[in-house]
Amino acid sequence: MGETKVCPDCGSTKLTQDFDRAEVICSNCGLVITDGIFDTGPEWRMFESDEDSSKGRAGPPSTFTIHDKGLTTMIDWRNRDIHGKDLTPHRRAQIYRLRKWQKRIRVSDAMERNLAFALSELDRIASNMRLPKNIREVAAILYRRAVEQRIIRGRSIEGVTSACVYAACRQTKLPRTLDEIADASRVDKKEIGRSYRFMAKELGMKLPPTNPSDYISRFASELGLSGRVQMRAKDMIDQAIRSGLMSGRGPMGVAAAALYIAAILEGERRTQRDVSEVAKVTEVTVRNRYKELQDRLALEVDV
DNA sequence: AAGACGAAAGTGGTTGA
DNA sequence: TCAACAACTTTCGTCTT
């Protein structure tokens, strides 16, 4: 690995090798560079056989308790055998070594258990929200890094996983709102936001503020609008942003308004109510943004 | 009757002292 | 830590299609 590589996504040269798997990861955006599939399956499922594993994903994972089912053997500290007799020196040395390994295994065990829970939680949230696989992968990587950086300390696992999902969505340019994620998980919006901000700082990921355009395709398909409308809406947003307007405005409101106007322009009118519903803002906000867009961009919209 | 509009008061989050 | 502030929401009455 002599040649210097560059992240194809963000252009950063800070690529790091992931520990236990032969993977190169961009430390800026979390993108996996090598095409090796990031398969979370085999590893974290550990030794607890395949029996129920974690495909069933309803409700709180029952696997949580199963993890140590009969598997965490304790080695007694007394140097006696089951009959209470003393052990031979040879035997004692052997037991000593066993204890040592027991300890070591248990340390990594705790981490693995943490990961196991977190990743199944991650999967639960992600499938709740119908997120594409690549987002889950990015989220999983972020979580791994969060664990390595000791970020979870003092924070709930669920909070951090939710934050990972949120971050992953944004990185992938398919942003979801904190509310949406809060709905899909068991953590409230506030907590997710806190965890996210902390993570962003600690992991040094710089995410640009959400671009309203990123919402367009999702909203549009939810409203059954054509590609032409989407194009038009994105154009409008680009124009507005480039001329410095719309700053400080909520991206979803902007997206909603642009979509609303574009739909009218293309003869696919939707009501303000419908648009505001998918964008999770109120009609009033749609109206306000739409007014601004209208006279700031000098659009002629015959309503 | 449904949708669009806008005023006014209320809410939660950010910012700056 | 607290108050000021802007964005956004809620509510509601009126106008338009």
Same-domain status, A160 and A268: no
The reply to whether A294 has its C-beta less than 7 Å from any atom of strand B is: no
Same-domain status, A95 and A177: yes
Same-domain status, A87 and A22: no
pLDDT for A94: 83
Residue with tokens 């696992």: A157
Q: How many domains does chain A fold into?
A: 3
Same-domain status, A265 and A161: no
| A86 φ/ψ sector (left φ>0, alpha ψ -120 to 50, else beta) | beta
pLDDT for A111: 76
Farthest-apart Cα atoms in chain A, separation? 96
Q: Which of A208, A241, A267 is the last residue of a domain?
A: A208
pLDDT for A76: 66
The one-letter code for the residue type at A180 is: E
Tokens of A91: 């035997």
Under a CB-based contact definition with an 8 Å cutoff, are residues A36 and A54 in contact? no
pLDDT for A251: 92
Same-domain status, A199 and A92: yes
Specify the CATH number for the domain of residue A258: 1.10.472.10
- A87 DSSP 8-state letter: P
pTM of the model: 0.69
Residue A159 belongs to domain spanning: 64-208
Protein contacts on strand C: list nucleotides below 7 Å from a Cβ. Answer: 6-11, 17
Same-domain status, A192 and A85: yes
Cβ-based contacts (< 7 Å) between A 248-277 and strand C: 248-250, 253
Rounded-to-integer distance, Cα A125 and Cα A162, Å: 8
How crowded is residue A166: how many other Cβ atoms within 10 Å of its Cβ? Answer: 27
pLDDT for A24: 56
The reply to whether A284 has its C-beta less than 7 Å from any atom of strand C is: yes
Gap from A12 CA to C2 C1', in Å?
A: 42
Rounded-to-integer distance, Cα A111 and Cα A147, Å: 8
Cβ-based contacts (< 7 Å) between A 184-203 and strand B: 189-190, 193
pLDDT for A269: 92
Long-range pairs for A44-51: beta carbons < 8 A, 24 or more residues apart: A44/A112, A44/A115, A44/A116, A44/A119, A45/A116, A46/A112, A46/A116, A47/A71
The DSSP-derived string for A41-55 is HHHHTTTS-SSSTTT
Does the residue A302 lie in any domain? no
How crowded is residue A115: how many other Cβ atoms within 10 Å of its Cβ? Answer: 20
Per-residue pLDDT of chain A (303 residues; tens, 9 = 90+): 334 455 555 555 555 554 444 455 555 555 554 433 333 333 333 333 333 444 433 333 333 333 444 445 556 666 777 777 777 788 888 888 887 777 776 666 677 778 888 999 999 999 989 899 899 999 998 998 888 888 787 788 888 999 999 999 998 999 999 988 998 888 888 889 988 888 888 888 877 888 999 999 999 999 999 999 999 999 999 988 888 777 888 999 999 999 999 999 999 999 999 999 999 999 999 999 999 888 777 654 444
Rounded-to-integer distance, Cα A61 and Cα A45, Å: 13
Same-domain status, A269 and A166: no
- Terminal CA-to-CA distance of chain A, rounded, Å? 61
Same-domain status, A114 and A194: yes
The angle, 0 to 180 degrees and rounded to 10, between the axes of the packed helices A213-223 and A227-242 is 150
Same-domain status, A89 and A201: yes
Shortest-distance nucleotide from A291 CA to C1': B5
Does the residue A303 lie in any domain? no
Which is nearest to A261 in space by CA: A208, A221, A302, A215?
A: A302
Shortest-distance nucleotide from A188 CA to C1': B12
pLDDT for A205: 80
